[in-house]
Amino acid sequence: MTGAPLLSGLIFLPLAAAMIVLWLDRQRVGAMFTVALAGMGAALVVACVLFARFDSATAALQFVERTPWTGGIDYAIGVDGISLPLVMLTAVILPLALLSAWGSVHERVKEFIVSLLALETALLGTFLASDLILFFVFWEAVLIPMYFIIGLWGGLRRAYAAIKFILYTMTGSALMLVAIIVLSVQGTAQLGTRTFDVVALRTVHVAMPLQGYLAAAFALAFAIKVPVWPLHTWLPDAHVEAPTAGSVVLAAVLLKMGAYGFLRFLLPLFPQASLQFAPVMSVLAIIGILYGGIVSWAQRDVKRLVAMSSVSHLGLVTLGAFAFTVEAVHGSLLQMVNHGLSTGGLFLLVGVLYDRTHSRQLDDYGGVAALMPRFAPLALFGRPRATLSRPSAASFCRRSTCCGCIRE
C-alpha cells in the first residue's frame, strides 16, 4: 500500500533500541533510559502516523506486509479496526511504564529496560500478526520478558507469581498451538495450499465436532489471558508481585491480548462453535463481573483490589465480544482501551503511593484522598459508552466495582 514497511518498523523499533541499550555501559543509566524512550517514542510516532493514515472505511487489513518464511508460514502483518486501538494503547502505555521505572528500579536496570523494550515488540507483533504461527510466536514471546519482569524485579513472592503466570498461560497456549496446526491441516486440504493466514483460513469450513474442539482450545488460551472467571487467579498474584511498570503493562495491555484473540481469531475462525459457546462464555463473564467486584471490595491490598476489578471489567469485554452485535464489539473495544488507560493510570498511582509509603495495605493509607479521588472517578469515567454493549450486567458491574474503587 505504501513504500515504507510501516508496521515492521513499528514492531522492531523497540527491539532495535534494546540492541543499543545492550551495547551501552551499564553505569550509564540515564543514557539507557533515553535510548529506550527514544525507541518507544519513535514507535509511538509511527503508530500515530499509522492512525492518521488509517482508512476507517474498509474492514480489510491495511498496511499489509507479507514475506514467505517457511513451510506455508508467512511473515504476514496488517492492521485493521480491531487491532489499531490496541496498537495505539500499547504504544502509549509502554513509554509510561518505562518512565515509571525511572528512579524506582535500581537493580539490573539494563536488563529491565531491555525486557520492557522486548515486551513492546512482542506485544505489537501480537496485535499486528495476521499469520497464525507468527501470532503464536509473538504471543509466546510476550511471556518471556514478562516472566523476567515479575520474577526478577517483583515483590516477596515473585517466584511463585511468575511461575504461576507462565504455567497458566502456557497451558492455554500449548493447546492453541495444536489447534492451529490442525486447523491448518484442514485448511490445506480445502484450499490446496498450506497456509496459516487468518484471512484465508476464515473461508475454511471445519465440520462441527472438530470445530468445537479447536475453538475450545483457542478459547481456553484466550480465556486464561483475559482472564475469564474462574481462570483468573494468576492475575492478582502477578499484579501484586510485579513492579509498577510490570503491573501497568500487564493490566493495560497484556489482558487485552485475550480479548483481542476472541474478537480477532475465535469469532471469525469458528463462527458456529462461537455461537455455541456464547451462552457459557456470557454466563462466565457475568459471574466474573460480579465476582470481581465483590472480591475487590474485600481486599486490603490495593494492587489486589485493582487486579480483581480488572477481572470484573474484562468480564464486561468478554460479554461484549460474545454478544455478537456491532454495538457490543464497539463497546468491547472501547472498554478495552478505557480500561487500559484507567487501570494503567491506577497502577501508576499505586506505584507512587508505594514508593512514598512502602505499603500496599489500604489500612495504612489515610488522608491520601488528595491524590486518589481524582483517579478513582477516572476509573469510572469513560465507561458509560462501553456499558452500552449489554445493559443489565454492565451497570451491575459499575455498582459493585465502584464500591471497590471508592473504598480507598
Partner 1 sequence: MLLALIIAFPLAGWLILGVVGGRLPRRVIGILASGTVALAFVASVAASRHPAVSAGGLTAPLFSWIAAGALTVPAGLLMDRLSSLMALVVTGVGFLIHVYSIGYMADDRSYARYFAYLNLFIASMLLLVLGSNLLVLFVGWELVGLCSYLLIGFWFDRERAAQAGRKAFVVNRIGDAGFLLGILLLATSTGTLELGRIGSLASQMAPGVLTAVTLLLFVGATGKSAQLPLYVWLPDAMEGPTPVSALIHAATMVTAGVYMIARLHPLFLAAPLTLSVVAGVGAATAFFAATVALVQWDLKRVLAYSTISQLGYMFVAMGVVAMPAGMFHLTTHAFFKALLFLAAGSVMHAMGGVIDMRQLGGLAGAMRWTAFGFVIGALALAGIPPFAGFFSKDLILEAAFTSAQHGGSWLVWVAGLATAFVTAVYVTRAAILTFLPPAAHHGHPHEAPPTMRWPMAALAVLSVGGGALGAQAVGAPLLHSLDRFFATAPATESAPAVLLTMIPVAIGALGMVMGVFLYRGRREVTLGAVGRFFERQWYVERVYDAAILAPARALAQFCADVIETRGIDGAVNGVAALVVRAGGTLRRAQTGFVRSYAAAILAGTIVVLGYWLLR
Whichever of 32 and 397 has its CB closer to partner 1, that residue is 397
| Shortest distance (Å) from residue 352 CB to partner 1 | 17
- Grid coordinates representing 291 are 465476582
ω into 227 cis (within 30 of 0): yes
Query: Nearest approach, Cβ of 37 to partner 1 (angstroms)?
Result: 26
Nearer Cβ to partner 1, position 184 or 312? 312
Residues that bind partner 1 (CB under 8 A): 164, 167-168, 230, 232-234, 291, 294-295, 297-299, 325-327, 330-331, 366-367, 369-370, 373, 377, 380-381, 384-385, 387-388, 391-392, 394-396, 398-399, 402-403, 406-407
| Least distance to partner 1, CB of residue 283, Å | 16
| Angle between helices 234-241 and 158-191 in degrees, nearest 10 | 130
Secondary structure class of 301 (helix, strand, coil) = strand
Residue closer to partner 1 by CB (options 110, 225) is 225
User: Between residues 111 and 237, which has the closer beta carbon with respect to partner 1?
Assistant: 237
Q: Supply the minimum distance, in Å, between the C-beta of residue 294 and partner 1.
A: 5
| Least distance between partner 1 and beta carbon 402 (Å) | 5
Rounded least distance, CB 211 to partner 1, Å: 27
Distance of CA 213 to the CA centre of its chain: 24
Q: Which letter does DSSP use for residue 370 in this model?
A: G
Identify whether the C-beta of residue 88 lies closer than 8 Å to the C-beta of residue 253: no
For the CB of residue 346, give the shortest distance to partner 1 in the complex, in Å. Answer: 16
Q: Where are the beta strands (DSSP E) in 134-244?
A: none
Give me the least distance between CB of 326 and partner 1, in Å please: 3
Q: Which is nearer to partner 1, 13 or 394 (CB)?
A: 394
**Rg of the chain on CA atoms, in Å:** 20
| C-alpha span between 151 and 15 (Å, rounded) | 21
Alpha carbon distances (Å) from 389 to 152, 232, 406: 40, 23, 24
Closer by beta carbon to partner 1, 78 or else 288: 288
Residues whose CB is less than 8 angstroms from the CB of residue 76 and which lie 6 or more positions away in sequence, other chains included: 64, 65, 66, 67, 129, 130, 131, 134, 197
* Nearer CB in complex with partner 1: 201/328: 328
207 or 370: CB nearest partner 1: 370
Q: How far is the CB of 8 from partner 1 (least distance, A)?
A: 32
Map grid coordinates 496485535 to a residue.
127
Minimum CB distance to partner 1 smaller for 71 or for 367: 367
- Contact between 314 and 347 under an 8 Å Cβ cutoff? The reply is no
- State the minimum distance, in angstroms, from the CB of residue 364 to partner 1: 15
Cα(216)–Cα(274) distance, rounded to whole angstroms? 9
105 — phi, psi (to 5°)?
-100, 125
* Distance of closest approach, residue 123 Cβ to partner 1, in angstroms: 25
Q: Determine contact, residues 266/274, Cβ cutoff 8 Å.
A: yes
| CA–CA separation, 286 and 254 (whole Å) | 21
Q: How far is CA 5 from the centre of its chain?
A: 24
Q: Are 61 and 55 in contact (CB under 8 A)?
A: no
Closer to partner 1 at the Cβ: 279 or 384? 384
Residue 380: CB partners within 8 Å, gap ≥ 6? 398, 402, 405
Nearer to partner 1 (CB atom), residue 49 or residue 402: 402
10 Å CB burial of residue 1 (0-12, 13-18, 19+) is exposed
